[in-house]
């Protein structure tokens, strides 16, 4: 095959599905194709600017710009940039095979709502294909910076594309869209200008179009080179004074950096001068990104050094539990040739990370105080991510604790609306701890036998049912000087009620024989049988030692394949419960053993744990029911 040979290649299967969607489905917001292609062109220029810092031979005399032109007669739109460009291999990879997880994720997220689905395009990194919303043929000519050869890619958006060598004087990319017959509105100069102003006004690279010609004879202007004029503001938004920027401009820039459908909840724009000089513009989104739970996924801020783009996802400037934050950081004191490795070893980065983390937490605290409804919406979306914070960020543990929200026995439903400060404010003077119970779901937590005595005494209990909750509490430990105590662990002490303690000691002595008989039956399953202060309505519950793993955390770790040492809980018995009274009177040792095992199994189920042998439990219960029916 010669260097100039033309190849026809097939799209990857997922790419075919994506192209079919673009061509046949997303009509409601067609103008977003221009937003995506201009955004891609801007990114390509940022990458060229960064590459030129590392390799001065790539520096160009031409000013960076994105040029957009229309041909009303030919019904075409052309978007051209002088950015980094692509090699032939990169063209095939990026425009043909789409070997990227974003494509599949995009297809999985589609809702069927055309307007909403069209807005998702950029978020998943498939923005180039939006060209086929309005075009029945797309041509791309591109040349990688530092190379002499150019490549032409062309497709009608069906099953294949062609690729061949081409000519291009400078590095960069030109995209020509041959418009469909029903999309010729985009061959109109003023229509395209209005779209650029709407979506791309905040982009720091100039977006240019040919200046409108004054009325004159056609033959006077036909052979003249067009004069180009800047259509957008073309100034990095974060470099402007806050007083000059409208809320609409802030929101437009947010949609640019995040590819989000909705506006941001709030933002913080800050310029720091002193030992370190940097500008940050941080946004809190309304909705979670599709990869929020992928802790290894791309995250972080767009990093600039002295307004030169460095990288898209600089994760070193915020902790992992704030991975949903979007925005820009422009630092004056970092080297232009900075790499991810250098960022990990730079002391200035640590200082900026600490400051930016506190700024985000302060932003959240302010929202929680002044805009509680907005904060509740934020918490409902990102609360479980914030709960990762105390384990990852010890220095800000108190700040994070004030942001946490929980369901409680007083809140009445599963909504997590109660802050720890609210709980402490409602505590009685003699209450020494903040109490919580952990379960796999809210209903199990709400009906846990471990909280029966708390309900009786009117003591509020946090109801924890998220998978992260027990891990969170193991790192939080206290709030406002009050320890956090799991009601299903260790000895229960609700104060200095001497009468209750005396009754407990009396029950222990009076029923010593019962406890010994039960412990013998349950040998190997429990550590001991003892009377309880926890129960008022249930006959029994399981309690683990103070510093052992709870049932929920044990199940999670075991499901993850982690080997854990064997532990045995204590079985606490409500000696006043009719079943326990009946059990104490049972003289038939076989029947006693059956009833004891049933109590043990019920206590296991009540805490939300599965039975090791559910069939035997059912069999024992059925035998008991049959005997009761005979009586």
Q: What is the mean pLDDT of residues 212-239?
A: 74
Cβ-based neighbours of 182, under 8 Å, separated by 6 or more: none
Strand partners, 66: 81, 207
> What is the band of 299 on the pLDDT scale with cuts at 50, 70, 90?
confident
What is the pTM for the complete model shown?
0.73
Phi, psi (rounded to 5 degrees) for 377:
-65, -40
Q: What is the mean pLDDT of residues 279-297?
A: 83
Least confident range from 40-49, 335-344, 553-562: namely: 335-344
Q: Inter-axis angle of helices 13-24 and 101-109, to 10 degrees?
A: 40
CB atoms inside a 10 Å sphere around CB 110: 14
Q: Are 539 and 605 in contact (CB under 8 A)?
A: no
Q: Is the pLDDT of residue 630 over 80?
A: no
Q: Are 375 and 282 in contact (CB under 8 A)?
A: no
- Residue range(s) occupied by CATH 3.30.565.10 in the chain: 7-234
Q: Is the pLDDT of residue 2 over 60?
A: no
Least confident range from 88-102, 240-254, 266-280, 463-477: namely: 88-102
Q: Which two tokens stand for residue 327?
A: 């925005």
Sign of CA dihedral 384, 387, 389, 392: negative
Question: DSSP letters of 522-587?
Answer: TBTTBSEEEE-SS-SS-SEEEEB-TTSPPHHHHHHHHHTT--------EEEE-TTSHHHHHHHH--
The 8-class DSSP code of residue 205 comes to S
d(CA 234, CA 287): 29
- Residue range(s) occupied by CATH 1.20.120.790 in the chain: 495-544+563-631
Q: Are 21 and 129 in contact (CB under 8 A)?
A: no
Q: What is the mean pLDDT of residues 448-477?
A: 92
d(CA 171, CA 595): 82
pLDDT at 141 (0 to 100):
97
Helix (H) or strand (E) segment spanning residue 496: none
d(CA 504, CA 526): 20
Architecture of domain 7-234: 2-Layer Sandwich (3.30)
Report CA-CA distances (Å) from 413 to 360, 421, 435, 445, 520. 29, 19, 18, 11, 41
Task: Report which of 484, 604, 609, 603 is spatially closest to residue 552, judged by C-alpha positions.
Answer: 609
Phi, psi (rounded to 5 degrees) for 489:
-125, 140
- Residue range(s) occupied by CATH 3.30.230.80 in the chain: 238-382
Percent of the chain clearing pLDDT 90 (strictly above)? 49
Q: Which two tokens stand for residue 430?
A: 């003699």
Task: Report which of 36, 42, 203, 200 is spatially closest to residue 125, judged by C-alpha positions.
Answer: 36
Least confident range from 467-481, 497-511, 530-544: namely: 497-511
Task: Tell me the CB-side half-sphere exposure of residue 289, using CA atoms within 13 A.
Answer: 28
Cβ-based neighbours of 109, under 8 Å, separated by 6 or more: 120, 124, 290
- Computed over every residue of the chain, the mean pLDDT equals 85
Q: Which two tokens stand for residue 229?
A: 């004029």
pLDDT at 60 (0 to 100):
82
d(CA 478, CA 481): 6
Strand partners, 325: none
pLDDT at 122 (0 to 100):
43
Q: Is the pLDDT of residue 546 over 70?
A: yes
The more confident residue out of 620 and 28 is 620
Class of domain 495-544+563-631: mainly alpha
The SS3 call for residue 123 is helix
- The torsion of the CA quartet 118, 120, 126, 130, rounded to 10 degrees, works out to 10
Least confident range from 27-31, 211-215, 243-247: namely: 27-31
Query: CA-based angle 371:376:379, to the nearest 5?
Result: 125
pLDDT tens sequence across 356-383: 999 999 999 999 999 999 999 999 999 9
- Residue found under tokens 């809190």: 284
Least confident range from 124-138, 151-165, 360-374, 383-397: namely: 124-138
Cβ-based neighbours of 535, under 8 Å, separated by 6 or more: 449, 452, 453, 541, 572, 574, 577
* Helices within 428-550 (DSSP H only): 442-446, 452-457, 469-476, 498-510, 512-521
Q: Is the pLDDT of residue 104 over 70?
A: no
Strand 326-331, strand 301-305: pairing: parallel
Q: What is the mean pLDDT of residues 320-333?
A: 91
Task: Report which of 434, 437, 438, 402 is spatially closest to residue 419, judged by C-alpha positions.
Answer: 402
Q: Are 80 and 67 in contact (CB under 8 A)?
A: yes
pLDDT at 107 (0 to 100):
52
pLDDT tens sequence across 385-444: 999 999 999 999 999 999 999 999 998 789 999 999 999 999 998 888 999 999 989 999
d(CA 194, CA 208): 13
> What is the band of 111 on the pLDDT scale with cuts at 50, 70, 90?
low
Q: Which two tokens stand for residue 183?
A: 């999309």
Least confident range from 76-80, 185-189, 382-386, 551-555: namely: 551-555
pLDDT at 171 (0 to 100):
94
> What is the band of 148 on the pLDDT scale with cuts at 50, 70, 90?
very high
pLDDT at 192 (0 to 100):
95
**Does CATH place domain 238-382 in 3.30.1370.60?**
no
> What is the band of 628 on the pLDDT scale with cuts at 50, 70, 90?
confident
Q: Are 185 and 32 in contact (CB under 8 A)?
A: no
The more confident residue out of 399 and 103 is 399
d(CA 119, CA 189): 24
pLDDT tens sequence across 115-124: 444 444 444 4
């Amino acid at each position: 095959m010669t260097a100039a040979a033309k190849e026809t290649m097939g799209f990857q299967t997922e790419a075919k599905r994506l192209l079919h969607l673009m061509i046949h489905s997303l009509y409601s917001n067609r103008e977003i194709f221009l937003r995506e292609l201009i955004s891609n062109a801007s990114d390509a220029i940022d990458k060229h600017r960064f590459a030129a810092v590392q390799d001065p031979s790539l520096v160009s005399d031409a000013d960076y710009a994105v040029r957009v032109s229309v041909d009303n007669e030919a019904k075409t739109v052309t978007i051209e940039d002088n950015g980094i460009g692509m090699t032939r291999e990169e063209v095939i990879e990026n425009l043909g095979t789409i070997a990227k997880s974003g494509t599949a994720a995009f297809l999985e997220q589609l809702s069927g709502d055309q307007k909403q689905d069209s807005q998702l395009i950029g978020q998943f990194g498939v923005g180039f294909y939006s060209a086929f919303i309005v075009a029945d043929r797309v041509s791309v000519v591109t040349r990688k910076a530092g190379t002499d050869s150019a490549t032409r890619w062309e497709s009608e958006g069906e099953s294949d594309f062609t690729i061949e060598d081409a000519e291009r004087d400078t590095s960069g990319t030109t995209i020509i869209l041959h418009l469909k017959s029903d999309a010729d509105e985009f061959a109109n100069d003023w229509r395209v200008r209005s779209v650029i102003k709407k979506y791309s006004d905040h982009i720091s690279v100039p977006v240019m179009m040919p200046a409108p010609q004054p009325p004159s004879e056609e033959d006077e202007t036909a052979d003249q080179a067009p004069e180009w004029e800047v259509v957008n503001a073309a100034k990095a938004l974060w470099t402007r004074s806050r007083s000059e920027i409208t809320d609409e401009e802030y929101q437009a820039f947010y949609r640019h950096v995040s590819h989000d459908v909705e506006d941001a909840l709030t933002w913080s724009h800050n310029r720091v001068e002193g030992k370190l000089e940097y500008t940050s513009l941080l946004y809190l989104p309304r909705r979670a990104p599709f990869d929020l739970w992928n802790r290894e996924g791309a995250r972080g801020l767009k990093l600039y050094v002295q307004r030169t783009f460095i990288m898209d996802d600089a994760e070193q400037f915020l902790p992992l539990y704030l991975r949903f934050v979007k925005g820009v950081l422009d630092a004056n004191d970092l080297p232009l040739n900075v790499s991810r490795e250098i960022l990990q070893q730079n002391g200035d980065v640590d200082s900026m990370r600490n400051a930016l983390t506190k700024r985000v937490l302060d932003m959240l605290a302010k929202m929680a105080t002044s805009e509680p409804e907005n904060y509740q919406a934020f918490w409902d979306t990102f609360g479980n991510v914030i709960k990762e914070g105390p384990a990852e960020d010890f220095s800000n543990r108190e700040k994070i604790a004030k942001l946490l929200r929980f369901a409680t026995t007083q809140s009445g439903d599963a909504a997590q609306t109660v802050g720890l400060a609210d709980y402490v404010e409602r505590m009685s003077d003699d209450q020494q701890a903040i109490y919580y119970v952990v379960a796999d779901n809210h209903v199990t937590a709400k009906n846990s036998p471990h909280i029966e005595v708390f309900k009786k005494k009117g003591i509020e209990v946090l109801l924890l049912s998220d998978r992260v909750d027990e891990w969170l509490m193991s790192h939080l430990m206290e709030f406002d000087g009050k320890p956090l105590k799991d009601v299903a662990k260790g000895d229960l002490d609700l104060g200095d009620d001497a009468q209750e303690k005396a009754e407990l000691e009396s029950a222990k002595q009076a029923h010593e024989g019962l406890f010994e008989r039960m412990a013998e039956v349950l040998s190997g399953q429990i550590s001991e049988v003892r009377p309880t202060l926890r129960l008022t309505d249930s006959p029994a519950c399981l309690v683990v030692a103070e510093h052992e793993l709870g049932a929920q955390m044990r199940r999670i770790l075991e499901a993850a394949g982690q080997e854990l040492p064997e532990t045995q809980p204590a079985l606490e018995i409500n000696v006043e419960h009719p079943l326990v009274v009946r059990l104490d009177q049972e003289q038939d040792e076989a029947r006693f053993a059956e009833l004891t095992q049933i109590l043990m199994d019920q206590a296991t189920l009540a805490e939300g744990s599965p039975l090791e042998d559910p069939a035997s439990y059912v069999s024992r219960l059925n035998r008991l029911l049959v005997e009761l029916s005979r009586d």
